[in-house]
Amino acid sequence: MRPFSTPGARLVTLLVAGFGLAVGCYAWILQSVAAAGTGPIDTGEQALIAYQIVVGLSALFLSGWIWALRPDDTASRLFFASGLSTVGFTFGAALFLPSVYGQAAWVITFAFYLNFLGAAAFGCAMIALFLVYPVRIPGWRWLAAAVSVFFLGWTVAALVNPSISGHTVNFVQMVGICAMTGVQFAATRRNPRGRAVLIWLGSSVLIGAGSFIMLVAAPITFGYRPVVPAAWSFGLFLIIYAGVAAGLRRYRLFELGEWAFRFLFYALGGVLLIALDAALIFFLSVNQITALSVALLAAAFVYLPLRDVLFRRLMRRKALSEQDLFRAVIEVAFEPSQSVRPERWVGLWRTLFDPLNIHTATSFTDEAVVEEDGAEMIIPAVAGQTGLRLHHPWRGTGLFGPRHVRLAQQVIELMRQAEEGRRAYDRGVAEERVRIARDMHDNIGAQLLGALHSAEPERKNTMIRETLTDLREIINNAPRAAQDFDEALADLRAESSERLAAANVTLRWSLDGDAPPLAPHLAHTLRSIVREAVSNVIKHAGASEMSIQISAGAQRLSVDIRDNGRGFDAAAVRSGHGLANLKSRVDGVGGDIAITPGPDGTSVRVRLPMEAVS
């Protein structure tokens, strides 16, 4: 792997270099003063030196963090350049401050030049930043080059010619920065997101740079004493970097997402660990092993628990538990209203990612994909729901990343499975309704007709009670026990004979062979076939005679039914529930049925496989 090829490598290098530079600068100051023999440095000046170094480090780390994550972006490069420039003028001021203690002349000269050139470079970098961010101004490269040449040339002239005030250069640059925010304000008038970014970033720059102009640069330029000492005014520049830090969270400045913040929190933990270890060694004279142990314990028991709390509070994002997510998907899939289901589907994605906008989209894949560098996510069409395009998650404060794609894919897979379950449920409901309707038509109807035409009151009551029992079994789909073959046929023969006799139809019943006890569903199918055939003869055939011949064998059960009625025209008669039910029942047990109408009556031939059901 090449050096600096990963964000981690770049950031670690930056942290090590920054801390090394800060410690080296502070140690050099102490050593040079000690070598001059004019020390020690006053406590207040020590605090001021440390303050200037901290300001420079803060600017370096925040701007460097953004650059480490997006090193190829022009805006992040310019922002990083401003951070390096801030290090230049703050460290230069820190080196220059103890000059009264008799430092070497070359050190004083170096510090003076570093401070002036760093301040000028900061102004150039910030003006160039506002030439490209939030939107690029036409001809920005030439404008940035011209600005840099002009201000750096002016600064060099001020260094060479004492009659030219270097503070005037800084004053004009700060005014230029404020002017560029106005240019960007006009350029983003039709860009809502760019305007939101500019308001946040521009406000922090205007407050920081404007405060420096009013309190320091303007008074010095016009011959007055600064309101705030120049050495302490550097903190005003932290307003700019603090505004950028807040803007990163709120408006996705520089297009950094949630993963960048997590990276920052881990890096901050390392920084605090090193800082605490160094503080214990240098300020409290604690030995190295003890200092490292205390720092590690503090990081483990204080920072790590606090890190997650801070992250949740900063990001303000609520995640659904797996149980809640599963429940939400099931509620969408099993929503009975076809018009409400799409609304609940969109509402689920709003709950998960809180995007600024959700639009319908056409997706050519079956998986969620991220587009526009994480600003959008495409959700494919699934379970009858149209594809969706989610714009700018968490109200525009974050970006979609791989973790969010995995979550979206999990939701999609859950929805597909839930939809399969819903369809299976619907099929089961439909099949159960068909079963009940079929049994009601073939069995309950036939039994009630038999009871209606029965001449014996006791027999009528018995048939009604049996019908009610069968009705409860049909509704509850209660399991039936295996039934003796002869007993089942005896009951069926008596019932059929009584029904046909009431309609003045003679029954000829024939039974051949022997069979083991009938399986419940086979006995039920046999009863339904015979009952439906008897009902058709009574209602439609106008027959005087009906024959039922049943032949039982080890492999097959045959039922042949004939009547001497008027038959029917198969081409002219629509298939009602009766004929359809007959075919459905026979097909359900793997049998065959043939219905042959004719002028001399109708024949029904049924073959049921005994081995398939025994």
Q: What is the rounded average pLDDT of the residues 3-9? A: 65
Are residue 107 and residue 227 in the same domain, yes or no? Answer: yes
Token pair of 231 as six digits: 């050495």
Q: What is the rounded average pLDDT of the residues 445-456? A: 60
Question: Last residue of a domain, which of 256, 284, 304?
Answer: 256
Q: What is the pLDDT of residues 484-537, one digit of tens each?
A: 677 777 777 887 887 788 788 888 888 887 766 777 777 777 877 887 888 888
Closest among 368, 337, 334 to 353, alpha carbons compared: 368
The highest-confidence range among 77-81, 188-192, 568-572, by mean pLDDT, is 77-81
Which residues make Cβ contacts (< 8 Å) with residue 401, sequence separation at least 6? 257, 258, 259, 370, 374
- Cα(503)–Cα(584) distance, integer angstroms: 27
- The chain-wide mean pLDDT, for the chain, equals 76
Report the amino acid identity of residue 328. Answer: A
Under a CB-based contact definition with an 8 Å cutoff, are residues 21 and 91 in contact? Answer: yes
Question: Last residue of a domain, which of 205, 227, 256?
Answer: 256
Overall residue count recorded for the chain in this entry: 614
Query: Is residue 250 scored above 60 in pLDDT?
Result: no
Cis peptide before 599 (omega within 30 of 0): no
In a domain, 489, yes or no: yes
Report the amino acid identity of residue 408. Answer: A
Are residue 491 and residue 417 in the same domain, yes or no? Answer: no
Token pair of 171 as six digits: 């004053």
- Cα(393)–Cα(399) distance, integer angstroms: 6
Helices (H) then strands (E): counts for the chain: 21, 9
Token pair of 434 as six digits: 């068909």
- Cα(133)–Cα(198) distance, integer angstroms: 8
Are residue 359 and residue 291 in the same domain, yes or no? Answer: no
Report the amino acid identity of residue 511. Answer: L
Are residue 24 and residue 73 in the same domain, yes or no? Answer: yes
In the chain, how many domains are there? 4
Q: Report phi then psi at 601, rounded to 5.
A: 125, 180
**DSSP structural state of residue 100:** G
In a domain, 303, yes or no: yes
Query: First and final CA of the chain: distance in angstroms?
Result: 71
pLDDT band at 249 (very low <50, low <70, confident <90, very high): very low
Which residues make Cβ contacts (< 8 Å) with residue 419, sequence separation at least 6? 333, 382, 383, 384
Query: How many Cβ atoms are within 10 Å of 72's Cβ, its own excluded?
Result: 7
Are residue 224 and residue 299 in the same domain, yes or no? Answer: no
Give residue 281's pLDDT.
Answer: 67
pLDDT band at 478 (very low <50, low <70, confident <90, very high): very low
Are residue 332 and residue 309 in the same domain, yes or no? Answer: no
Q: What is the pLDDT of residues 387-432, one digit of tens each?
A: 888 887 877 666 777 778 888 888 888 888 888 887 777 777 776 6
Query: Is residue 578 scored above 50 in pLDDT?
Result: yes
In a domain, 188, yes or no: yes
506-513 vs 545-552, strand pairing mode: parallel
Under a CB-based contact definition with an 8 Å cutoff, are residues 388 and 352 in contact? Answer: no
Are residue 331 and residue 293 in the same domain, yes or no? Answer: no
Token pair of 338 as six digits: 């076809």
pLDDT over 70 percentage in the chain: 73
- Cα(44)–Cα(162) distance, integer angstroms: 30
Please state which of the ranges 168-177, 180-189, 273-282 shows the lowest mean pLDDT.
273-282
The residue written with tokens 């300020």 in the block is: 283
In a domain, 456, yes or no: no
Reported for 499-504, long-range contacts at CB under 8 A and 24+ positions apart, including other chains, are: 499/446, 499/449, 499/450, 499/453, 499/534, 499/538, 500/534, 500/537, 500/538, 500/546, 502/450, 502/453, 502/454, 502/455, 503/453, 503/537, 503/538, 504/544
Give residue 124's pLDDT.
Answer: 93
Are residue 249 and residue 263 in the same domain, yes or no? Answer: no
The highest-confidence range among 26-35, 211-220, 484-493, by mean pLDDT, is 211-220
E-assigned strand segments in 368-439: 369-371, 376-379, 388-391
Are residue 160 and residue 129 in the same domain, yes or no? Answer: yes
- Cα(244)–Cα(130) distance, integer angstroms: 13
Are residue 250 and residue 163 in the same domain, yes or no? Answer: yes
Question: Last residue of a domain, which of 272, 292, 316?
Answer: 316
Query: Is residue 572 scored above 60 in pLDDT?
Result: no
E-assigned strand segments in 418-544: 506-513
Give residue 142's pLDDT.
Answer: 94
Are residue 88 and residue 219 in the same domain, yes or no? Answer: yes
Cα distances (Å, whole numbers) of residue 80 to 25, 34, 73, 236, 293:
21, 35, 11, 18, 34
In a domain, 474, yes or no: no
Query: Is residue 480 scored above 90 in pLDDT?
Result: no
Please state which of the ranges 185-199, 393-407, 470-484 shows the lowest mean pLDDT.
470-484
Closest among 263, 276, 252, 275 to 307, alpha carbons compared: 263
In a domain, 76, yes or no: yes
In a domain, 375, yes or no: yes
pLDDT band at 571 (very low <50, low <70, confident <90, very high): low
Query: How many Cβ atoms are within 10 Å of 12's Cβ, its own excluded?
Result: 15
Closest among 90, 398, 61 to 241, alpha carbons compared: 61
The residue written with tokens 């039910």 in the block is: 581
In a domain, 379, yes or no: yes
Give residue 567's pLDDT.
Answer: 74
pLDDT band at 259 (very low <50, low <70, confident <90, very high): very low
CATH number of the domain encompassing residue 499: 3.30.565.10
Query: Is residue 447 scored above 70 in pLDDT?
Result: no
Are residue 181 and residue 250 in the same domain, yes or no? Answer: yes
Please state which of the ranges 26-30, 72-76, 447-451, 539-543 shows the lowest mean pLDDT.
447-451
Q: What's the order of all strands across the beta sheet hosting 369-371?
A: 357-360, 388-391, 376-379, 369-371
CATH number of the domain encompassing residue 199: 1.20.1070
| Domain residue limits at 595 | 479-609
Token pair of 481 as six digits: 């026990």
